A and B are shown apart, each in its own frame.
Chain A
Amino acid sequence: DQQVKQNSPSLSVQEGRISILNCDYTNSMFDYFLWYKKYPAEGPTFLISISSIKDKNEDGRFTVFLNKSAKHLSLHIVPSQPGDSAVYFCAASAGGGATNKLIFGTGTLLAVQP
């Protein structure tokens, strides 16, 4: 049972435009959500996170939105740059701060075209 779902395996966007990556979850016990970026032959790197008590978190060009009633979160990248081309993973935790266990989605491959 996939508790965290990324239904779009890939996304192509023009440089300078907005990239929107989506993630849905089923477990209402998740209390923290994260986005990781992964380049080929490297491990995932942390991008941005959001607590379940918030609905928005911004960090530079990256903004994460959380809609708890819809069990949906999204990552917005504005403006998109070619260096953003990577696989993006959505992850969630239900640990309440007691565990580092993360449940990951299957990833979305973002391609930013120059």
Chain B
Amino acid sequence: KAGVTQTPRYLIKTRGQQVTLSCSPISGHRSVSWYQQTPGQGLQFLFEYFSETQRNKGNFPGRFSGRQFSNSRSEMNVSTLELGDSALYLCASSSLQGSYEQYFGPGTRLTVT
């Protein structure tokens, strides 16, 4: 079975721009969660989707948004990028909502200059 894939792997953007990141979960998995990893902060929860519905949202500004499609693929969008948005963005999938064991993709490394 193919693992979680994220595209692109690396991205460089300028302050004020917007960015869209993509995540394809493991086949058959219907739950997708997104996390932001910055040095010294660990992984911070962004949002969680199940069957195209946002089930949970972390403590991030409204510039961060996401969605999930009928094939379970998910995208997250960050508008009006700030320098502090530079981070590794990780997507995780699981087969069920409430399944603690999640499978992570390799992440998208976003650099904002």
A interface, CB within 8 angstroms of B = 4, 6, 32, 34, 36, 41-46, 49, 89, 91, 93, 95-107
For this complex, 17 residue pairs linking A to B, each with C-beta atoms less than 8 Å apart, are A32-B100, A34-B100, A43-B4, A43-B90, A44-B43, A44-B90, A98-B97, A99-B55, A100-B50, A100-B98, A101-B45, A102-B33, A102-B100, A102-B102, A104-B35, A104-B42, A104-B44
Residues of B contacting A49 with CB < 8 Å?
100-101
CA A52 to CA B23, docked complex, whole Å: 31
Partner of B101, one of A41, A42, A46, A96: A46
In the complex, the chain B residue whose C-beta lies closest to that of A46 is B101
Specify the main secondary structure of chain B where it touches its partner: strand
Count of chain B residues near A, Cβ 8 A:
29
